[in-house]
Every structure is written in structure tokens, then in C-alpha cells.
Structure 1
Amino acid sequence: MSSKSGDSDVVATLNAKWISWAHTALAYCAFVGALVVGISLHYHKIVQNEFYGYPQEWFPSVSATIGDRYPERTVFQLFIALTSGPRFALVGLWYVLTRKPNSTLPKFVAGVGVFRSLTCGGWTYITSTDDHDWHDIFMISYLVATIPWTFGCIALSPKNPVALKYRKYFSGSFYALIVPLVYFFIQHKVHRVAGAYTIYAFFEWSLVLLDVAFDAVTVYEFQHFEILIRDVKGLSRGAGKLAVFDDVFAKEKNSPVGAVFSPGFSWTGLLDTVADVYNGFVFWSILTSLGVSVWYFPLWHMGISGYEVLVMTTISPFLLWIGPLRRFIIRHIRICHLLSLSGLAAYLIETPANRVFCVGFGVWMSSLSWAATFYAERAQPHRLEARILAFSLGLLASSIAKFAFYTNNPIWPIMHGANGGWNGLGLTLAVLAIWKSTGSTASSGVDLQAPGPTRGSATLTSFGLGGLFFAMHSLLSDSSTMIFWVWEGYPVRGPIAVPHGAVTLLAMGFGLCMGILNPGLSRSWVSYGVGSIGAAILTTTKHWRGYYGALTLAVYVMSIAPVLLSHAARHSPGRTFGFGFLIYNILVLAHVWVVAYAFVPGGPIMREHTDWVMTAMMLCIGAGVFSVSLQPPISPTKEKRFSRPSTKPRRYYLCVLGFLEALAIAIAYLRFPSYDYTPYHPETKSITAGIWTIHFSLDNDMWSSERRMRDLLKDVELDVIGLLESDLQRIIMGNRDTTQFLAEDLGMYVDFGPGPNKHTWGAALLSKFPIVNSTHHLLPSPVGELAPAIEATIDAYGTLVDVFVFHSGQEEDPEDRRLQSLYLAERMKATPRPAILLSYLVIQPHVGNYHTYVGEKSGMRDIDPTDWDRWCEYILYKGMKRTGYARVSRHTITDTELQVGKFVVDQPEGSDVIIPEEQVPEGLRFPGLLKGEGVRGHRYHVFDAPRYYN
């Protein structure tokens, strides 16, 4: 710092590079200083975690170092406070350096920089001990804001190759290290691998160093700046400007990335894009709600009900074959979109039959509206691309909404306020979004031709659309669907729904970018071959290898969507979209028949042939790719002759995509399980276990029943629960998963059971005790539906206990049930450990197969041999003391009661003598609130009170 002798009003100057150096030095002093002090004073305490300490874990994590211990926390907070000044100065100087006329991006990046600085202070001074929720909110906000900050700084980097190179190196390394960071955190948290947290800590510290280093690169630009301090008299300070570099991405102004961050960015354009994407979200919300709404009726009729015909409401685009009607619909496209909102408003109707008809009409109008919209925009490729992006991002937004709401879409008609629905808000936003995004189309009712000649087959294109829609709906409408395809139980050897659902969503976003930025690659046969290999790997393999196939398929399906949809818009919409949705419906029915073969005509032909369905899906997409290959690409110069400037540039949609992906990552972080679960009465070493057939989580009035189920399971204080009819990962069940909500809300480990590609109606296990190992079985079923079973070993108070969850075959197939009883009896007899069977057996007490399940053949005892009023649900046990048994009424949640048993480990089995409740210790009694009239319609029934045994 020195005086300026040549200019009398300049008191001092400072080269701006020292702002960067000060920020870097102080930030590193904060972290490294806390690390040195922590290792010196509290080494063994800060390397200790919930599972291991020294010597298994020997290097502390960032959070453990800067957390709650004095004086390292004070050292960190002191230097972070000193860093705040240079930090805000750095953000301000970066804005001065990069600002340009008519460009909003520098202001946006500066705002993100200020927001990051404030959130850094939030998680620094509010520790997880002070307030865990707010600490996490500030931390997640900081990490999410890092994404636009890094990409924005790269986009705005002045012409300095060295600085740009280092920014790319540091940011690329930062994002690359997130993958192993998450991997080793899961190894620690889920698999409890000794030493994994130490490796995780190294990656965590690396991210800190890279984050600070990224901002340190500003020294290359700031060295050309001087900060002047003037002694000025008067009020006027002038309007002088510093010279700055003004050629951001000068060499790449015509590239896709350059176009995204070019001048002209406006919040109005972004708002239009958000409305467009929300309109796409509404389409996928309505479409995905149809299957689960229709499914309610065959479920309660136990066979074909007639309402199934509503699945054909998607073929409404056939109407566009009629010229005058097509032009009328296009001219009044806003009204058509608004009429489709009956699918969202259906939640206001209490009667299930009327509600499903309302949903069907919504699907009819929604399919018609979107097909007409694509066709109407075909004359303007940029406008058509915008609609396709909105449609595809709508699917991604729908999947993210389900990721946030435990696989339920909050605006479905099976949701309402009582079970967590956001229907009113969703409907209001839909009206506003449609009003803003559907004001006009490129053709305005006139059949304008697409630019250039149209080649290819409309019929083959319709097959491609059918395969595409089916792939998007059946595999990508929920982030956990393909994860359960490769799930095989404990120990965990592959992805889990949380957090890896976010990885599926990231793959979808990457595929969509590829389809827009490199359509030539997406439409190639090489990409189709890679996508087909991914589908084959997903179908035939398990664990991580199968999931890699799933991610490959997700990328391919999303990348081919823009190509197929834009090509389909060139042909007659009645033929392409009408037949396309018809092919989609056929594939939907086929993928239902593979499991529902006992209830549909010709079902045995499709029995257990998911591989046929996947093959048909890929062949259909291949037909579409063949048709596209006959269409010559349009050169950019030729395209300009047919295109007016786009009103919704690509950059806005990519911004929305970035926000959605950041939101997915944040949701994954917030939902990550704690794995810190305790049983209700550990002082008694008891296990309260139950069995419940949950009827696919639809109650008697066609509302989603997860929350009502949660309340009852909590009231009964269940430590272990077997759920049957629990596989909802199909289009007809909404691609849902009840176990996610129950496990996270109740604090339980969960085994989803045999996946949707195992062709069963599902069996799941939830346990407050760690699940050490689990095996999935498909029991002999030569004629009827497949019988799923889970054989799991839990660690109950240090004692290994086997738990079997089993759903037997139907009453109409006695030979199946006989073979299944022999198979399961053999499995139960073979285990030397204490065991519990939670089952649906379809037998009468003391008759027929009952003696296979109970007695010498299995080694199991009936929880209450005197209970003659049973037909389906049974609880059996061996090797532990049974102390209580209760039957709890279902009210209107499902069609089957909840049966519950209490057991004590490390005690002999005891007798069948029933004793009064007064002789039972308090911790071994069932909750009293279900006695008498009970609560919320649930009470102890049949015996009117629990039974207790000596």
C-alpha cells in the first residue's frame, strides 16, 4: 500500500490480487488451524464416530473437526469471520470484472455469491448440536448454490486461458470427488465398514480445499485491478468505469454452451419456461395417476371390473386425423389444456367411480392437447424443441416430486390434505401455467409444413413413440423403480432408493442434454445398441452391474425422446400419436399380464415374461430410430429460413434442468436414513411383530393409505412388521413404494422383498433391529400366481433371530399351496436360530397344510392354537418366549386386519396357558389406547382384548 504522488486526491492503492490471497489464506487457516488444534487436543474424540474409533478410524472428518469442541471450533469461527470481508469483496470485484450491458448473468452470479457467503455463516455459527435442522438447511443451501456459482464463473471467465484451465480443473475435480465421497459414506453408514469414514474424511477435506482453490483462481484476473482510495470533496463522485474484458466465450459464441449464457437472459423468459415445464409436469402427473385410479376397481372386484377400459383414454390423438377438428383443437389449444385439469380436480370428488371417470377425461384431453401442441409447432423447430423439452422435463419434475414425497405425487387424485396431498396448490399453479404457456402456437390452426422434406414411415414412428412412452412411464416415472429391479436383499450389494434415486434423476437429465445438444449421436444406431445392452443388463443381472445397465437405459431413453418426438411431429398426428399411444397401451397391458396372468384372458401366455416386454419395448424404439434414420438432418442455414427467433431459448430449459437436478441432490441428502433405530421396549428384550396385507396402499375410498398405516403401526408399537401385497412398482399401481415412507417415518430398516421383475404381488419386511442378512424366495407355483417370501436374519439385542415373511398362493390352486407349504416348512426347520413366521397361508386352523406349517415338519408353533377364526394371516414361532397376541381391526385402510405378537428373546418357549394382563410386566403389555372403542376406528377385536401367555 503506497501513496500516489502523481495524483493528489489518491490517498492509497491496493492491487486487487491481495483480496484473493487474503481470502484464500484466511479460509485455509480456518480449516487447517481447526484441524491442527483438534488433532493436538482431542485426537481420539474427533476420529470417533457412532460405530468405530481409533485405530479403525484415524483421520477426522471436517464436521467432527470444526464442530462443537473448544477451542478448535473457536479457531475455525474466528478465521471464517475474518474471511467474510475478503469474501464479499471478491464477489463484488468479480461482478465489476464481468458485468456487461444487457446481460443478467453477472448479476445472477453475484447474487449467488452473496447468498453462498451468508449460508456459509449459517452453518458455521449454527452447529448441528445447536440446531440440527437449520445447520443442515444452511449447509445444503451452500452446496446447492455452489453449482450455479462454479458454472457461472466459468461461463463469465474473461479471456485468460490459464485461469479458465484451473477453474475447469478445480471444479471438475470437485464434482468428480462427490461420487467416491457418497460411496464411502454409504459404506460407513449403511454397511458399517471399519475405516470407511476415514477415507470419506479425506474426500471431504479434498472438497474443502478445492472449493477454496476455485475462488483463489481470481488472482489471475484481479492482478490487473487496482483499488484506489481518494480524498474527494463535494457530493458528486462521477461515473467513471473501469475497463474490463468484454468478450466472454468469444471463441464459442455459436456453441450450445455459449448460446445458453449469451446476453439477453431475462427473468420473463425464465418464468415462461417454468410455466411450460410445469405444464409438462401436469401431463405426467395426470397420466401416471390413471393406472393407480383404475387399479382400485379390479382390486376390490377381485377380477375384471369394466373400468379397465379407461386405460384407452390415451388414444384421443386419433381425433387429430380429422382435418377440421384438428385445426379447431389447435386454434383453441389453451381450452383443451385447461379441460385436461379435470384430472387434477378429481380429488374433490369423494366417490371412487366418479373420480376415476374424471381422471380418464383428464388423460383424454391431456394426450390430445400435447399431441396437437407438438404438431402445431412443427413449422418452427426451435419452438417445437421448447415444447419437447417442457414435456421431457415435466417427466423429470414428476419423478423428483415423487422422490420428495416418498413415491407419491402430491397432486394425484388419490391424495388429499389428510394424507399429504398438495392438490389445491398444484391445481392453482396448473391453471396459471397453462394460461401463460399456451397462448399461441406456431401454426395458430393452419397446417404449416415442417421445414424440409419429410421422410420415414409414420407407422414405424408410432411404434417408436409407443416404446418411448412406455419406457418413460414404466421405468423413469419413479426414481426407485429400476433400483428395485436389481435389489436382492441384505447385505446391501447395490443401490438403494435413497440416495441413489438422485443418481437415476441425474442420468435422466444427462440423457436429455445429450438428446438436445448432440441429436446426431442420440439418433445413431450405436446409441441404440448401447441402450439395448443397458436394457438387457437391467433385465438379466442384479446389484451394481444391473444398476449400471439401468442408468445406461435411462440416459438413452431421455436422449432419444427429443429425436422421436420431433420426427413424429412431422407426420400426421392422428397416425403417429394415436397409434403411438395405442402401442403404449398394449405394452402397459402386457407388463400387467406378466404378473396378473391368473385374472386376465390369455394371461398364462405372458406369465413371468418381463423379458418379452422389455424386448418389445426396445424393438418398438428401434422401429422409430429406423424411421428417423430415413429423415435427412436439416442444416442450420436451411433451418433459419423456416424459423423465427425462439421465444423460449434453450438456455432457460437448461437452467430449469440444473435447478431440478440440484433439488434432487438436496432431497437425497435430506432423506438419507439415520440408521439409528431402537425398539420400543429394549428393557424387556422383547420383539413386537405383526403381519398385515396392505392391499397395495389404497384404502376403501381410493385414497393413498400410507399415513393411516403409519399411525396404526405406531400405536401398536411394532418392532417388526411383514407387509403383503406391497409391490407397487408398476404402472397400474403408480410406480410407488409404501415401505420408503413407513421405514423413514417409523425409523426402521426395510427389505422391499422380491422386485417388480420377479412377478409377484410383493412381500416386504420392516424392522427396528438391524437386518443382518436376507434372502428372497419364489416358492413353487406351477399353476397359480407366484408366492413371494423373505427369509431374513435380524440382530435383536445381540441374538440372531430369523424372520420369514410369506404370501401363499390362491385358494383356487391347492397343489401350489401344498408345494409351497413343504418348501417353507423345510426352510423353517433348517434354521437353528429362533424364528418368527409372518404369513398369509390360506388355510383353516388344524386342517390340511396347517400341519405342515405347524409341528414337526417345520419345528414351528402357532402363536394361538385356540384361535379358530382365521383363514389367511398366521404368526408362527420357535426358540423364544411368546408373551402376547392381538388382532387389530383395519377400519377402512384395507380389507385385512393387523395381527400382532409379542416375543422375548433368550427365554424358553413357555406354555399355552393364558394369564391376566395384571400378571404381565408393563413393558410386555400391548398399548391400552386400542382397547374398547379404540382410536381412529382401530381397536382390539375378535377377543376384544390382547391375550397374554405364561
Structure 2
Amino acid sequence: MAPKFKDGDVVLAFSGKWVSWAHTAAAYSAFLSALIVGVALHYHKIVENEYYGYPDEWFPSVSATIGDRYPERSSFMLFIAITSGPRFALVGLWYLLTARPNSNLPKFVAGMGVFRTLTCGGWTYVTSTDDHDWHDIFMISYLVATLPWTLGCLALSPDNPRAIKYRKYLAGAFFGTLVPLIYFFIQHKVHKVAGAYTIYAFFEWALILFDVAFDSVTALDFETFELVVRDVKGSSKGKSKLVVEKILQDEKDHQVAQVFGQTFSFSEAIDAVADVYNGFVFWSMLTSLGVLVWYFPLWHMGISGYEAFVMVTVSPSLLAIRSLRLLVVKNLRMCHLLSLVGLLAYQINDPATRLFTVGFAVWMSCLSWAATWYSEGGQPARLESKISAWTVGLIASSAIKFAWQTSNPIWPTSHSENGGHNGLGFILALLAVLRSTRQTPLTSNDLAIQGRKEGSSLLAGLGIGGLFFGLHSLLSDSSTMILWNWEGFPVQGPISAPHGAVTIAAMVGGLLIGLFNDTLARGWTLYGLGCIGAAILTTATNWTGYYGGLALAAYLMAASVPLIGSAARKSPAVTFGFGFLVYNFMVLFHVWVVAYAFVPGGPLVRERTDWVMLATMLLIGCGVFTSVSSTPAAQRKRFNAYLNSRKQRSYYIYILGAIQLFSVAIAYLRFPTYDYVPYHKDDKILTAGIWTIHFSIDDEGYSSEYRMRDLIKELEIDVIGLLESDLQRIIMGNRDTTQFLAEDLGMYVDYGPGPNKHTWGAALLSKFPIVNSTHHLLPSPVGELAPAIEATLDVYGEMIDVFVFHSGQEEDPEDRRLQSEYLSKLMGASPRPSILLSYLVTRPLEGNYNTYVSNVSGMHDIDPSDWDRWCEYILYKGLKRTGYARVSRHTITDTELQVGKFLIGEKEPKTAKARNALIKEAQVPEGRRFPQLFRGEGVRGHKYHVFDEPRYYA
């Protein structure tokens, strides 16, 4: 019989711990019963994956076990349904246990618990076979919500040492397991290592065990509850302290504890979001300016005059004029609003007018931010808030570009047809400026007493110039440093997705160092580590080089807080006006190293990226020197700033957490599937193309990757070489069109020689697996470097070599002669059937053409009778060529797209006459024909031209 109490009889009473045990038992039963039944009935089927089966793979993954087969799927779903009841009860009891007056964290954690429960049901009952997209959405949402749930439970844990210890162990084991899990998944998916998926499966099962075990620890806390719910120990009444409360009492000077111990205000949180969005808009406008400028030297093939617009960033130099300085400071809202005109520039079709508009926007934006920092220099807490907003805005910009495959949806080069969301971006920016500029700036008297003698303004300006350049050139896109270390196939280093999320994590971690350890961030020790990272990034490749890049990324973000803070307390015209001038010099410097053939004095800095990196770190060192030499009074002011900024700092940390979770979700969504299928696999046709894409800027100055995607897809191209494809510089927007094309078209991609190899770029995309690839820099004693890719593809089981090559310019005949000899020998050394997709700069049957098409190379011209060529050529050997077409570019680029078809499995005719014998299209099987879409007037300005129709060969 149930016990009786003074307030009535209890019909049923049991300890709250049984809710936890019921949840644990039901959850484990779901997974383990499915595993036992699956192994017993369908062992060989559930251990098999897309590459290997038993005995190479001998243990099933979770998804294969609980997937589509009966009866293991039914067993799993039955117990998972039973689990849902205790699960909701567990979340509810946890909230009752941890709820405190004036605290929103328990509500947030409980909300995450409910959300995880619902999304668990989502990926459980909607399998990847039912609906792959929704299965992934539910799964990603569940994994993303796991982090705040886990950390929230740790933060809210009652003062129960045993439970706290278990939670720490299990949480550490869970997150630690993610590292080898991802590693072995990449070994399986990217490197196709036999047995790797089995090891991955063990870690995947371990995640399940740790996840459920973490929640089972609540049994130790729920002993305080007795149901019908009566708290027999009073923990839910607020009488006992949570761990976080005990920490706050025992460690009053602990910075992290003090930050998160502040009360939460939605109004202040919205203020922080608005400030960060303003920072995001600044970086979006600044990073777009280079793309708009770059359009003009591309079409002029040299200095155009429009390059002068890179100097608009020096607008803070106007703050040297006192009356103008006070005018700007008192009208910051209007200045920020005027800068938003750049977000509307996408509606201007004329490239020059669009550049003028964005140039004005960047002018006003740089002026506004410099004046904002200067005006807040006397109030350290508010100054830190504005610096945080600006730096978090950079991270947000990088994360958005990660989600949009290195494009930015609010750039003026974007619009609704190529992935832009410019209108929404402008509306949000307008609201953000109105919200974040509500606070009035300091008065002129306040400005006069900020202590401008804290170090040298000139040295601070040098430091600002180096810092801004480092942030922009390396961190405005998460894939830039990854591509610095790219060496081709087989993959031996990071890839843009998913590892872009790691770059963002390093940026987040570095900024947290800058916020929480000012002394370390402004000191020489961390600067030295940053220099080491820069040296490793510059000299090493693959994972080693990337690790150096991560160290440098963390340092640049950490140093941003003290260096900008120090500069804000000096003359703004020198620190920011002169600083941006130095930044502009560095921008030109890092373009000159590759554009040396087109600019005055270019050969002096030819291929000296190491000089650029050295100059960057030396400039930052100047800023560090003047920062660490600040007076004791300034140091006390910084400490007082921390005391006043604890509450607002927490909101920026929440935003950083949200950005990091967003980037992790994007990394999961963008992970390569490697399940690509050629367009005509039953006919064993390989369709190859060559296209000079003109840096993905169309004739009107808009981003062209969507239009490129459509043409490549409609022409059913399986393998394509892209030239002038390296966009990973400030002047080109730090972009990578190959990421978008590869993911959207379902193709393997070799980016080619990286941005630190000083070429204009050569890339290869293929529906067929790239077994191996090597990057070449061909002899170029005078002119620009000529990049080449040598790749071996697995085409319907046959190994075929594909070469992608961009030769030197017409002005450098000796370069082109040496390059033709090098490439001819390279192609001749291949014993396999080969295809060259190239830009040769020669006339058919003349000059270097006879070196490329020769007995040395063994290559044949795809159509020797096509006399109307100068740049693009397709050559081949050991293959039966069946078709050739030239397709007009319309306004996508300045060069047409050339396409050839090859029949795999049949040998090429032995004589030139037999090879080049033409046949009518009616004699060609349907699967070997070019699409009819481009006949006549074609579609969207693309049509077969020169021959007016494709050519077919016997």
C-alpha cells in the first residue's frame, strides 16, 4: 500500500530515478534489438556499403542496422516509440529540478531537450530511403541540438559530485568520439579504404551508447523527486545551489563564470544581433569591392584606371579635420544608413555605375566604423562591444560564404537568378542600423579626454593595416587556407567541405581568447605563435600547412580585440586612415605577385607570397609593440572595461555559438556524396569540355556560376577543364566557383594549383573518380606561370589520363615554346589513353601546334579542319572520338565552350583519314548525340556555332 501523508493519500509513489532508468532501458533496447535481429537475419546485407562488402566490412553501421529491412526496423521503431514517454518526462523533471527565478537558461535547455526528442522521432521514422532530404534535416537538427543540451545540462547540474563526474566523462567521450568518427568516414568516403567503414561503425555505435548514458545520469539527480510529484529534498525549491551558482560564489573573479552569471535580456540580445549584422554588412561590402574593380582590368587586359577605387577605404583620414570629425561622430546613424546604398547596387546594370555606388558605400562604411570605434574609446565596455560586433561580423560573413559555396547572397554581383537575397539583406541591414545606433555618441568633451598618448598612432596604424589585410585575405572565406594546402588526389589534406567549419571554429576560438585574455592576446608570446603558424602555412602543404593556418587564424582573431581597441584611443585619421592605406598597399602587393605581367614593376615581386606574409606579420608586430607599451593607467582602464562588459559579452558568445553550430550543420550538408553518375553510362560515352570562365564574372559584372552550371548540365558534360578559375584573392572576392559546380552537378573536383602558386588557375571537374592527380607549373622565364593538371580517371573501369592546361600569353613566345615542349613530353610519357583540355594560344597547323600534336606527344587534334581557333583546343590519343561541337558563350564569359565525345572501350582508327571521316547525325546512336537544345537559335543565347551543328565521326 502506498504511504499516507498529511495532505492526503498517495495512490502511487516511486522515485524519479525510474524515469531515467526507463528511458535508458527503452533506448538501449531499440538499438540493440535491431542490431541482434539484423545480424541474425541480414548480416551480409547490412555490412555492405557502396564500395565493399563482407569480409572487408564486417560490422554494420547504425543507419544500416535500423534502416529499411524488416523486422529489425519494426523492432527499433517499437522501442523508440516506448522511449518517447520517459524521454519527455525526463526533460520535464530536469526543468523542474533546475528552474530558478530570473533565469532563462533552464527554459532554453528544456526547449532543446524537447526539440531533440522531436527531431529524433523525425530521423527515426523518416529514413533516408523514404525522404533523404528530410532524414538529413532531422538528423542534423538532432546533432546540432545535442551540443547546447549537453553543455546546458553540465552548467545546470545540481551540486552532486558523482553525477557531475559522470556527465563530464560521458560528454568528453561523446565529443571526443566525433574526431575519429569523422576521420574514418573520410577514409571510407574520400579515400575508399577497405574496412574503414567498419571502424567508423564502431565509433557511430559508441556515440549512441554515450548519448543515452549521458541522459541516464539524471537518475542520480532525480532521487530527490518522488512521484506523484513530491520533492522530498527541496532541490526544486531553489534551496540548494547549482554548480554554476557555487562557482560564482566561490570564484567571483573567474571571468567566464561572471560572464555567464549575468541575467539575460532579450532587448540587449537583439542589440548584439543588430551590431553583428552591421559588422556582417561591412565585410560583405568590403569583400565585394574587389570583384567589381577586377571586372575592368579583365576587359582591358591591363591597368584600366578603375583600380583607384581600392583607395576608398582611406576615408577615415578625413577624421583628422576636427569639425568634420565631430560632424561624423554626432551623425553616426546617418553615416551608417548612407553606407547601405551598396546593398542596392545589384539593381544597377552598368558595371561602372555599380562600382561607383559600392565605392561610395565602402567609403562611408569605413568612415562610420572608424568614427564609431573612436567615439567609444572613452567607454571601454561599449568599445569592446563594437569591436566584437565587427569581428563576429567577419566570422558570420565567412560562415554565410561557407553556406553559399564561397559566394555571398547580398553582394552586388548577386541577384535572385544566381542565388542572391539582396532585398532581404537590405531590409535587415536597415533595421539593424536603426536598432544599433539608438545610443547617442560621446560628447566632444568626452572625446578630448580619452588619453590619446597611449603609444604611437603611426605604429598602431601599421598594425591595423597588417591586421585588416590578414583578416581579409585569409579569413574572409573558410576555404582560402584549405586551398593553399591543396595538392590533388588522392586527398591527403583538408577539403573545403566539411573542413571549412574547422577554419570557422579556429576563428571563434581565437576571438574568445581576445575577449577573455587581453594580456595574452596583445602579448609577444601569442604573436610568436602566430608567426610560426604563418611560416608553416606559407611553406608546408596538406594537413601540416593547414594546422599552421589554423594557428594563424586563431591569432589574427585574438589580436583584433586589443589592436583595434588600442587604435581607437589614438588619432583615428592615423590609426584607421593611414591603416587602411597600408591595407590597400598590401592588397595591391598580393595581387602584384601573380599579376606581374600586367603591372608596372610587377617582376620585382613576382611569385613572392612569402614576402607578402612576412610584411603582414611585421606590420602586425608594429601594432603589438605599441599596444604592449601602453601605460599602467591604460592597463587599469582595460581591466575596468572587463568589469563593465561582462553582461554584453555573453550575447556575442551566444551568437558565436550559433554561428559555429550553423557551420557544423552546413559542413554535414555539404559533405561530398561521391555517388556521381555519368550522363550516358549505358553507352559508355565520355563527354569532355574546355572552357575559359574569366574568373566567373559575366559581361555585365555579375557572378556567372549559376549560368555556367546550367550550360554544363544541359550539354551533359562528364569531364570539363576550367581555366582562369583561381578566385582566392581579395581582388576576386576570395571565391571558388568549382565548389558550387562540383556539388550542384555531382562531380569530383581538382581545384588545381592553389592560390599560393601564383597562377590564374586551372581546375578539373569529373563525373568519374579521380584516381590520381598531379599539379604542374610549366616553364615561364618571362611571363605569367602556366598551370597544368595531370589526372588519371577511372572511366567505366578503364584508366584514362586527362590534362588541363593554360599556356602563357601571346607576348611571351619563348615561354610558350618551352611550355609546349614540356607538355608534349608529359603527354607522351603517359601509356594510357589521354585527353588534353587546353588553352594553347596558337593557330591550327602552325608553330607550337606541331609540338603539341606530334609523335612525341602522340596526341591528335579533335578536328584538324577547324581552322577558326586560337586559344582553346581538345587533343586526344588512344580513344575513339565520336563527336565535336563549339557552343557560343552568350554573355557568361569571353570564350566559347568546346566539347568532344569519346567512346570508351573501342580503339581509335589507325589512320588520320579513318579518324577524321565525318558521318551524318542519323547514323549516330541516340545516346552518342549532342543535345538538340542548342540547334538553330539555341537557348539563352547558347547555340552550336562555327559549324552551326555538331560534327560526328565514324
TM bucket normalised to smaller: over 0.9
Partner of 2:220: 220
Partner of 1:478: 477
Query: Contact 1:16–1:222 at 8 Å: present in 2 too?
Result: yes
1:498 deviation in Å?
0.7
Name the SS of the counterpart of 1:273 in structure 2.
helix
Residue type of the partner of 1:896? T
Mark the CA change 1:192 to 1:388 in structure 2 (over 3 Å): closer, same or farther: same
Name the SS of the counterpart of 2:688 in structure 1.
strand
1:441 deviation in Å?
4.7
Name the SS of the counterpart of 2:4 in structure 1.
coil
Query: Contact 1:488–1:542 at 8 Å: present in 2 too?
Result: yes
Matched, 1:252 2:247: yes
Matched, 1:900 2:899: yes
Query: Contact 1:379–1:643 at 8 Å: present in 2 too?
Result: no
1:634 deviation in Å?
6.3
Matched, 1:429 2:428: yes
Name the SS of the counterpart of 1:11 in structure 2.
coil
Residue type of the partner of 2:731? I
Write the distance in 2 (CA, Å) between the matches of 1:749 and 1:266: 48
The CA deviation string for residues 434-477 of structure 1, in whole angstroms up to 9 with x for no partner, is 11011225515554367778532111111111111111100000
Write the distance in 2 (CA, Å) between the matches of 1:309 and 1:784: 25
Name the SS of the counterpart of 1:838 in structure 2.
strand
Partner of 1:191: 191
What TM-score do the two structures reach when normalised by structure 2? Answer: 0.96
Write the distance in 2 (CA, Å) between the matches of 1:670 and 1:765: 23
1:906 deviation in Å?
2.6
Partner of 1:166: 166
Partner of 1:537: 536
Partner of 1:838: 837
Residue type of the partner of 1:662? L
Partner of 2:410: 411
Query: Contact 2:325–2:371 at 8 Å: present in 1 too?
Result: yes
Residue type of the partner of 2:791? A
1:345 deviation in Å?
1.1
Query: Contact 2:691–2:721 at 8 Å: present in 1 too?
Result: yes
Name the SS of the counterpart of 1:649 in structure 2.
helix
Structure 1 residue runs without a partner (length 5+):
231-238
Write the distance in 1 (CA, Å) between the matches of 2:61 and 2:895: 49
1:80 deviation in Å?
1.3
Length, aligned pairs only: 942
Matched, 1:660 2:659: yes
Write the distance in 2 (CA, Å) between the matches of 1:640 and 1:540: 39
What TM-score do the two structures reach when normalised by structure 1? Answer: 0.97
Partner of 1:236: none
Write the distance in 2 (CA, Å) between the matches of 1:609 and 1:833: 37
The CA deviation string for residues 80-102 of structure 1, in whole angstroms up to 9 with x for no partner, is 11111111111111111111111
Matched, 1:763 2:744: no
The CA deviation string for residues 65-84 of structure 1, in whole angstroms up to 9 with x for no partner, is 11111111122111111111
Residue type of the partner of 1:191? H
Matched, 1:925 2:920: no
Query: Contact 1:16–1:227 at 8 Å: present in 2 too?
Result: yes
The CA deviation string for residues 225-254 of structure 1, in whole angstroms up to 9 with x for no partner, is 222269xxxxxxxx9974552444234324
Query: Contact 2:156–2:242 at 8 Å: present in 1 too?
Result: no
The CA deviation string for residues 598-619 of structure 1, in whole angstroms up to 9 with x for no partner, is 1111000010000000000011
Query: Contact 1:104–1:266 at 8 Å: present in 2 too?
Result: no
1:643 deviation in Å?
8.8
The CA RMSD measured in Å over matched residues stands at: 1.8
The structure 2 residue matched to 1:946, chosen from 932, 935, 950, is: 950
Partner of 2:494: 495
Mark the CA change 1:636 to 1:123 in structure 2 (over 3 Å): closer, same or farther: farther
Write the distance in 2 (CA, Å) between the matches of 1:753 and 1:643: 47
Mark the CA change 1:24 to 1:784 in structure 2 (over 3 Å): closer, same or farther: same
Partner of 2:43: 43
Q: After alignment, is 342-351 or 656-665 more displaced?
A: 342-351
Query: Contact 1:13–1:227 at 8 Å: present in 2 too?
Result: yes
Matched, 1:610 2:609: yes
1:160 deviation in Å?
2.1
Query: Contact 1:377–1:442 at 8 Å: present in 2 too?
Result: yes
Mark the CA change 1:640 to 1:283 in structure 2 (over 3 Å): closer, same or farther: same
The CA deviation string for residues 308-361 of structure 1, in whole angstroms up to 9 with x for no partner, is 000000000101111221111111101111111111111111110000000100
Write the distance in 1 (CA, Å) between the matches of 2:613 and 2:411: 27
Partner of 2:20: 20
Write the distance in 1 (CA, Å) between the matches of 2:633 and 2:65: 58
Residue type of the partner of 2:562? V
Mark the CA change 1:18 to 1:32 in structure 2 (over 3 Å): closer, same or farther: same
Name the SS of the counterpart of 2:103 in structure 1.
coil
Write the distance in 1 (CA, Å) between the matches of 2:791 and 2:398: 31
Residue type of the partner of 2:63? S
Partner of 1:298: 297
Partner of 1:848: 847
Partner of 1:208: 208
Matches within 5 A, 1:300-449: 300-441=299-440, 443-444=442-443, 446-448=445-447
Name the SS of the counterpart of 1:115 in structure 2.
helix
Q: After alignment, is 487-496 or 513-522 more displaced?
A: 513-522
Query: Contact 1:378–1:449 at 8 Å: present in 2 too?
Result: no
Partner of 1:10: 10
Query: Contact 1:915–1:949 at 8 Å: present in 2 too?
Result: yes
Partner of 1:701: 700
Residue type of the partner of 1:91? V
Mark the CA change 1:919 to 1:444 in structure 2 (over 3 Å): closer, same or farther: farther
Write the distance in 1 (CA, Å) between the matches of 2:606 and 2:707: 34
What percentage of residue pairs aligned between the two structures are identical? 68
Write the distance in 2 (CA, Å) between the matches of 1:453 and 1:865: 73
Matches within 5 A, 1:65-104: 65-104=65-104
Mark the CA change 1:868 to 1:152 in structure 2 (over 3 Å): closer, same or farther: same
The CA deviation string for residues 905-945 of structure 1, in whole angstroms up to 9 with x for no partner, is 23222221111111111111111110101011000000000
Mark the CA change 1:704 to 1:637 in structure 2 (over 3 Å): closer, same or farther: closer
Partner of 2:509: 510
1:165 deviation in Å?
2.3
Write the distance in 1 (CA, Å) between the matches of 2:5 and 2:101: 35
Mark the CA change 1:866 to 1:378 in structure 2 (over 3 Å): closer, same or farther: same
Query: Contact 1:464–1:625 at 8 Å: present in 2 too?
Result: yes
Residue type of the partner of 2:582? I
Matched, 1:468 2:467: yes
Partner of 2:912: none
Query: Contact 1:4–1:13 at 8 Å: present in 2 too?
Result: no
Query: Contact 1:390–1:653 at 8 Å: present in 2 too?
Result: yes
Name the SS of the counterpart of 1:791 in structure 2.
strand
Matches within 5 A, 1:544-563: 544-563=543-562
Query: Contact 1:380–1:442 at 8 Å: present in 2 too?
Result: no
Partner of 1:912: 916
Q: After alignment, is 903-912 or 712-721 more displaced?
A: 903-912
Name the SS of the counterpart of 1:902 in structure 2.
strand
Mark the CA change 1:642 to 1:264 in structure 2 (over 3 Å): closer, same or farther: closer
Write the distance in 1 (CA, Å) between the matches of 2:235 and 2:592: 75
Write the distance in 2 (CA, Å) between the matches of 1:490 and 1:524: 40
Mark the CA change 1:243 to 1:891 in structure 2 (over 3 Å): closer, same or farther: closer
Partner of 2:278: 279
Partner of 1:233: none
1:826 deviation in Å?
0.3
Query: Contact 2:2–2:9 at 8 Å: present in 1 too?
Result: no
Partner of 1:124: 124
Mark the CA change 1:245 to 1:451 in structure 2 (over 3 Å): closer, same or farther: farther
1:628 deviation in Å?
1.1
Structure 2 residue runs without a partner (length 5+):
910-914
Name the SS of the counterpart of 1:870 in structure 2.
coil
Name the SS of the counterpart of 2:771 in structure 1.
strand
1:804 deviation in Å?
0.5
